Amino acid sequence: MALTTRVLVTGGAGFIGSNLADELIVQGARVSIIDDLSTGSIENINDITGDFDFVEGSINDNEALARAIEGCEIVFHQAALPSVPRSVENPAETHLACVDGTFNVLRIAKESGVRRIVYAASSSAYGDQPTLPKVESMRADPLSPYAVAKLTGELYCRAFNNVYGLETFALRYFNVFGPRQDPSSMYSGVISRFIDSLMTGKQPVIYGDGEQSRDFTYIANVVNANIAAAQATSGYGMTMNVANGDRISLNQLLDTLKMITGNEDVQADYQAARSGDVRHSQADNTLAVEHLGYRELVGLEEGLRRTIDWWKSSRFAA
């Protein structure tokens, strides 16, 4: 079903936001983007196909946000400072972007007559609880300032849904990867950094023993979930996992990438584990399946191959 309304993507110059904006345009939506380019990039904006409106500014800038949101029916709130290590180093910066920023988006959305918010939540809210898979009814146990900030955004979404009738969906992403994820950033996802290392002859770095596991989720699956949430007729105010529903250790992941790239002799550089990182992560997608009709479009290995193909044609390969 096409999505032909006017929508705003916050953080639309970022990895997830730009991929989402691309697909929304394909679906027929009239897209506006706001991004201050602090972690997003103008290259991602330039890669978006089709027509869209772009406001360069912060979601904490009331005037810029009001200008971007004007006339929009749905907001896809992707803007954040997405990094556990970064939040440990600078918790105030993370709080401003993720807590104050999310509250500002909700407040101005309500005042502007927006009907629905789809919020990018984070699996980091679960912390290091040993129970697998992670289910939304589990008690939250965030370990880092980033996790706390993203969980706070979920609670604000629920409150605005309950008190003001603003339809909200909080989608807890699990380790998203794919094209446009910047491998040159120290805060980037492990898959993009592994691929960049393997393709440029560097030694991939693993923090800890590599036996920690993650539920890696290809970007097309996350985009699909967001668009489904924009069209859903149940689940308002809820938090839902969005992932593959499986897990793989970092050692296994690196072996798979070495096999795909043909660099099977490369050895990892094991360094000290990082503060705030969880040991194991895996999602139960039942709620997203029930309310969004969510399904995995692209599996892990196919997603890795697509990401490697993108890297070969990207500016990082130059």
Which pLDDT score is estimated for 5? 93
Which pLDDT score is estimated for 185? 74
Position 186 pLDDT exceeds 80 = no
Considering the entire predicted model, what is its pTM? 0.95
Q: For residue 63, what are the domain limits?
A: 6-177+219-243+282-297
- Across the range 110-127, mean pLDDT stands at 96
Contact at 8 Å (CB) between 244 and 309? Answer: no
- Asked, for residue 196, whether it belongs to a domain, the answer is no
- Asked, for residue 269, whether it belongs to a domain, the answer is no
- Asked, for residue 206, whether it belongs to a domain, the answer is no
- Asked, for residue 182, whether it belongs to a domain, the answer is no
Mode of pairing for the β-strands spanning 269-271 and 205-207 = parallel
Q: Specify the number of domains making up the chain.
A: 1
- Asked, for residue 186, whether it belongs to a domain, the answer is no
- The encoded tokens of residue 155 equal 């609670």
d(CA 192, CA 282): 20
- Asked, for residue 214, whether it belongs to a domain, the answer is no
Which pLDDT score is estimated for 232? 97
- The encoded tokens of residue 156 equal 């604000």
User: What CATH number is given to the structural domain containing 116?
Assistant: 3.40.50.720
Position 255 pLDDT exceeds 80 = yes
- Asked, for residue 49, whether it belongs to a domain, the answer is yes
- Asked, for residue 183, whether it belongs to a domain, the answer is no
